[in-house]
Amino acid sequence: MTHTVYLDNAATTAMSDAAVKAMTPCFQGIYGNPSSLHGIGQRAREELERAREAVAACIGASAREIYFTSGGSEADNQAIRSAARLGAAKGKKHIISTNFEHHAVLHTLKRLESEGFEVTYLPVDPDGLITPAQVEEAIRPDTALVTVMYANNEVGTILPVREIGAVCRAAKVIFHTDAVQAVGHIPVDVEADNVDMLSLSAHKFRGPKGAGALYCRKNVALATFIEGGAQERGKRAGTENLAGACGTAAALSEAVAHIYENMAGEKLLRDRLIAGLSKIPHSKLNGDAEKRLPGNVNMCFEGIEGESLLLLLDAKGICASSGSACTSGSLDPSHVLLALGLPHEVAHGSLRLSLGPDNTAEEIDYVIAEVTKTVEYLRSISPVWEELETGKRRHLI
Ligand X SMILES: *Cc1c(COP(=O)(O)O)cnc(C)c1O
Catalytic residue list:
326
Give the nearer residue to ligand X in terms of CB position, either 165 or 207. 207
| C-alpha torsion sign, points 290, 293, 297, 302 | negative
Among positions 94, 102, 185, 292, the unique one binding ligand X when judged by CB under 6 A: 102
# of chain residues touching ligand X (CB under 6 A): 15
Q: Does the footprint of ligand X cover residue 156 (CB under 6 A)?
A: no
3-state secondary structure of 122: strand
Report in angstroms how near the CB of residue 34 gets to ligand X at its nearest.
22
CB closer to ligand X out of 201 and 350: 201
Q: How far is the CB of 381 from ligand X (least distance, A)?
A: 33
Question: What minimum distance in Å lies between the beta carbon of 181 and ligand X?
Answer: 5
- Residue 208 sits in the site that holds ligand X (CB under 6 A): no
Our finding on whether 206 is near ligand X (CB under 6 A) is no
The answer to whether 294 and 185 have CB atoms below 8 angstroms apart is yes
DSSP-derived letter for residue 15 is: P
Q: Are 216 and 197 in contact (CB under 8 A)?
A: yes
State in angstroms the smallest separation of the CB of 105 from ligand X.
7
- Among the listed ranges 57-65, 173-181, 308-316, 384-392, the one in contact with ligand X (CB under 6 A) is 173-181
Query: What's the closest the beta carbon of residue 242 comes to ligand X, in angstroms?
Result: 18
Length of the chain in residues, anyone?
Answer: 397
* 207 contacts ligand X (rule: CB under 6 A): no
Integer Cα distance of 363 and 369 in angstroms: 10
> Which of residues 52, 204, 235, 284 is near ligand X by CB under 6 A?
204
| Interface residue with ligand X, options 16, 73, 134, 147 (CB under 6 A) | 73
∠218-293-111 over CA atoms, to 5°?
55
> Is 132 a residue that touches ligand X (CB under 6 A)?
no
- Interaction of residue 197 with ligand X, rule CB under 6 A: no
Restricting to residues 224-283, which ones interact with ligand X according to CB under 6 A? Answer: none
Site membership for ligand X, residue 79 (CB under 6 A):
no
User: What's the rounded Cα separation, in Å, for the pair 117 and 108?
Assistant: 11
72 interacts with ligand X by CB under 6 A: yes
Environment class of 332 (CB within 10 Å of its CB; exposed 0-12, middle 13-18, buried 19+): middle
Segment interacting with ligand X (CB under 6 A) among 121-129, 200-208, 269-277, 341-349: 200-208
Nearer to ligand X, 143 or 201 (CB): 201
Shortest distance, CB of residue 245 to ligand X, whole angstroms?
14
Q: Is 234 left (phi over 0), alpha (psi -120 to 50) or beta?
A: left
User: Cα–chain-centroid distance for residue 51?
Assistant: 22
Choosing from 61, 180, 251, 304, the residue that interacts with ligand X (CB under 6 A) is: 180
Residues 6+ apart with CB under 8 A from 67: 75, 78, 213, 214, 215, 216, 222, 232, 233, 235, 236
Choosing from 147, 194, 201, 283, the residue that interacts with ligand X (CB under 6 A) is 201
Does 321 bind ligand X (CB under 6 A)? Our answer is: no
DSSP letter string, 316-377: TTEE-B-SS--GGG--PPPHHHHHTT--HHHHTTEEEEE--TT--HHHHHHHHHHHHHHHHH
Question: What is the distance between the alpha carbons of residues 75 and 332, in angstroms, rounded to a whole number?
Answer: 27
Positions in the binding site for ligand X (CB under 6 A): 71-73, 76, 102, 104, 149, 153, 178, 180-181, 201, 203-204, 212
